[in-house]
Structure formats: structure tokens, C-alpha cells
Amino acid sequence: MRVYFDNAATTPIDPEVLKTMYAVMESTYGNPSSIHSHGREARTLIERSRKTIAGLLHTSPSEIFFTSSGTEADNTAIRCGIIDHNIKHAITTKIEHHAVLHTMEALEKAGLIKLSFVNLDSKGNVDYEHLETLLKENERSFVSLMHANNEIGTLSDMERVGDLCEAYNAIYHCDTVQTMGHYQHDLGKLKAHFLVCAGHKLHGPKGVGFLHVNHRIKIKPLIYGGAQERNMRGGTENIYGIIGLAKALEIAYSEMEQHQIHIQGLKTYMQEQLLASIPGINFNGETDPAKSLYTVLNVQFPEMEMSDMLLFNLDIAGISASGGSACSSGSDIGSHVLTAIGASASRPSVRFSFSKYNTKDEVDFTVAKVRELCLVSA
């Protein structure tokens, strides 16, 4: 058996998405910027996809801008949101994705902003009182807090953050790469200025995503070169990726409730089986299902001789997962997320992440293999 439990990194593409993309690849090759019939046909498909996505998210098509990835969307929101609005103070956490952290750090290094980090507890939960203090103590801030952490799964309260940002006239960017298509996002009610999506996290194609820019805020392009995306992103649109992304999101919304139940069931079952099978097992991040992304389970194993080889041995055993350990020194290339929440540097951690295609039999297989590895290296 070969088990894929690394869906937080990327998901297998849905066959219906592939079918939709293939049909367009075979018949539509015009440049969407061309005014002839071939170009107009391509443009129509892109705008239809934009309308589909906007309808699912309860927003206007004019607020959806297609990008090459979630990383590009994050960079656009952060760089343009800060520079175009002359923001001098930014707030984030030490467990954000590097698309956010490295962008913020680059802006700080360039002398454009002062960067503050919100306090977190040992499970990665945001200290909202500290967030409010930071908002009070500084002039208008740019706040970037992810909806769900990609390594440990802990969720932030988007409504609460949105209310705080509104109260202090802050700009709010939320990295929703891990939750878009897995949770309902009503952008007509949510008080966020920027949200992002990457198609390959929800059984869509790689190389495409989108940035939601609320109508209350205006920014200039990050990428210049053409009038595409209503003058907001130069470059010929990835028509096949855009159509695949829209189809994937459409499928995700139509099946969301049943998949939440199925995947949460797998996660809970794996937690129970690991606790029953391996003494000393722990879990990184929030374990309350209401506060944790249901697709991610981060497992902290007991100390073992083969800590550095655990992921390699899991791969040999037929299990694809990801993870590592907290950094034990400044020169270590470990998990910045686990380090930030104070996880033990001597105990290996593995992130198992699930999708609608995973099964209970795969969980049983994985738990049995993990137990074997732990017994061998005890």
C-alpha cells in the first residue's frame, strides 16, 4: 500500500477538474486579450470562472484577481497594501507561512515598516488582547494573521480579528490558503481587506490562485506588463488553470459538509489509535475540533534514536507525510512554527494531512507502520 497523507502540501487533482480543463485545452487556445472571436471565447471562460468563484464567496467578481499562486497573492496584498497606503507598522505572528513572514521581514529590513509579533500560547492560539494592545499603541497598522496554520492546524478567529481591525482602522490580510474550499467564507460579511487562495490545496491545478481585494481598499499592481486582470496583474492569464480552480472550488462547496464529516472522522480516529498504540505520543497545536483545521494532524513522537530519519523511514514504509522538529540552535533548519510555540527540539514531529480521498484502512496501515518504527528505535 502507498498512502498519501501530505494534502496540506498539495492535493491530488479531482477527475472532474481534469475533465473540465481537458475540454478547454482541446478547443480554446485564443489569447484572452485578443479582440477576435478566439480571444473573446477565452475571455468569456475566464470571466465565467471569476463569476462562479465570486458567487460561492458572496462577493463581487470585480474583487477577484487571478494570480499564479497563493504566494503571489500574499506578496501582492502585503507589499501593495503597505506601500500604497503608506503603512509604517505591521502586525503578524511567528507561525505564519514564509510567504507572509519573509515578505514582512524584507519590508522591515528595507526600513519601510516596524514589525510587531502577536503573542501566542503553546497551541498557537492568538492572544487577541495583545493584538488589541498593539493596534492601540501604533498608528494605522497592517495586520496579517492566517486563518489556519499549515503545520499545526490551529485556527484564528477571523471575525474577531476583523472587528478589531475595523475598530482601529487597520488593514486586515488573512492567508486563507489552507481553508479556502474547506470552510465557508462569506466575503460580504467578513471584515477583511485581502484573502488568498491556491488552487492545488483544494484538488485543483498547481500554478493558479486568486487574491480577493475588498472594494473598500485600492492598491496598485505588483506585476506590471499588461492590462490583464483589470490592470491589476500583467501577464497572459492561465486560462486552463483558472477554469480548473473555479471547478475545484465549485465541487468543494457542493461537497463540503460531507467531506468535513469524513475527514474529521479520519483525524479523530488516527488520534485515538496513536494514543492507544504508542506511549508518550503528543499533538502539536490545538486539539479542540472547533479550533483546529480538520485536515491537519501534527503528531509529536517520543524521543528516539532515528529522529532525523523518521520521515525517510515513513516514506520507505509507503507513507508520504511531512514535518520535522523545532530548531535547537540558530543554525538548525527546523520548523519555525514548532519553535515559536515552544515544542521540544529533541522530539520529532510529523504532519499528517488528509483529503476526501483518504480512508480508514490507510489510517490503520499508517498507525501500524509508525508503531513498528517507534518500537525499533526505542
Give the model confidence (pLDDT) of 340-362 as tens digits: 999 888 889 999 999 999 999 99
Is residue 377 scored above 90 in pLDDT?
no
Told to judge if 327 belongs to the known catalytic residues of this protein, a careful annotator would answer yes
What is the average per-residue pLDDT within 156-183? 98
- C-alpha distance across the termini of the chain, in Å: 25
> What residue ranges in the chain does DSSP mark as E strands?
3-4, 64-67, 89-92, 114-117, 141-144, 171-174, 194-198, 209-213, 282-284, 296-300, 319-320, 322-324, 349-353
CB atoms within 10 A of CB 270: 23
22-39 residues labelled b (16+ CB within 10 A) or e (exposed):
eebeeebebebeeeeeeb
- Residues contacting 182, CB < 8 A, separation 6+: 202, 252, 256, 260, 293, 294, 295
pLDDT at 158: 98
Segment among 110-124, 261-275, 316-330 with least mean pLDDT: 316-330
Give the model confidence (pLDDT) of 131-148 as tens digits: 999 999 998 999 999 999
Residue 330: all three cell numbers together: 540558530
Distance between CA atoms of 222 and 193, rounded to whole angstroms? 16
Candidates 169, 170, 179, 175; CA nearest to 145 is: 175
pLDDT at 327: 56
Q: Find the radius of gyration of the CA atoms of the chain.
A: 21
What structural domains does the chain harbor? 3-10+256-376 (3.90.1150.10), 15-251 (3.40.640.10)
User: 8 and 365 in contact (C-beta within 8 Å)?
Assistant: no
User: 34 and 186 in contact (C-beta within 8 Å)?
Assistant: no
DSSP 302: P
The residue from 174, 197, 327, 374 that is catalytic is 327
β-sheet bridge partners, residue 323: 350
- Rounded to an integer, what is the distance from CA 215 to the centroid of its chain? 23
pLDDT at 125: 98
Residues 242, 80, 167, 131, CA torsion sign: positive
Is residue 164 scored above 90 in pLDDT?
yes
Distance between CA atoms of 136 and 115, rounded to whole angstroms? 15
pLDDT at 329: 45
Give the model confidence (pLDDT) of 30-59 as tens digits: 999 999 999 999 999 999 999 999 999 999
